[in-house]
Amino acid sequence: MLQYVTLTIDGSRVRAAKGTSVLDAAIEYGICIPHLCHVPSLSDIGACRLCIVEHVRNGSSNVTTSCTLRVQEGMVIRTNTEKIVKLRRNIAELLVAEAPNSRAVQDIAVRCGVKEVRYPFRNNNCIQCGRCVRYCNQYWRANVLGFIGRGKDRHVDYPLGTRPDFCKNCGACTLYCPMSVTPCEGPMKRGEEHLCGKCESQLSMSASLPGACVRCDLGKGFQCARHA
Ligand code: FES
């Protein structure tokens, strides 16, 4: 039988089953915590760090990713403090610098209040969120993709660098990839990368309802939990 705990997120009492992540509990109650590497029903690896929150304990707090934090009885979570907003904005800015050609990343950056990108654009095709790897390995149990290498050489690839015969080409890795949808005006060439930031509807939504899930466009290209 499921056991439930009660916690507080941004001052609201939330009831969630034991074992649920704080991110899932928040989403269930319509509290928007920006997230990118989380895929409903797959394990979380805390890769993008966008879902950071403050976990308040004994008068002090620590910053942690809400997708990897399990709910506990009486826990107090703050998702939208000045500190979190600033840290999250910086993370989103770094992600845009890494992958300006991802509509999902650009949308999240807008939602997080990024106004400019102060870091050099790298224009990578992968932000190592691991969504494709986990979907392939955990959902299909195909183990066609994995993380190869370490440090700056770490990347997603087939085990021996070529697509194995047992890959059924289902395309789920592409479907779940935040790079699969480019910004509205199309891919940006090297040297011409910029913050898109033109999505007026998202800008006004984020300004008027900073902490609420407003069923924004973030789910369109890469399946936010709320829209899956
Ligand atoms: S969604 Fe939690 S770290 Fe990416």
| pLDDT score for 227 | 47
Q: What is the DSSP letter of 156?
A: E
Overall fold of domain 130-177: Alpha-Beta Plaits (3.30.70)
Centre of ligand 1 from the C-alpha of residue 67, in Å: 6
Q: Count each helix (H run) and each strand (E run) in the chain, helices first.
A: 7, 7
What is the pTM assigned to this prediction?
A: 0.89
Tell me the pLDDT tens digit for each residue of 138-181: 988 899 999 999 988 899 999 888 999 889 899 989 988 989 88
Residues with C-beta less than 6 Å from any ligand 1 atom: 35-38, 44, 46-51, 65, 67
Domains 1-126+185-228 and 130-177 share a fold: no
Cβ atoms within 10 Å, residue 122: 13
Question: Which of these, 66, 36, 33, lies nearest to 48 by C-alpha position?
Answer: 36
Domain ranges of the chain: 1-126+185-228, 130-177
From the candidate CATH numbers 3.40.30.10, 3.40.50.720, 3.10.20.740, 3.40.50.10190, the one assigned to the domain spanning 1-126+185-228: 3.10.20.740
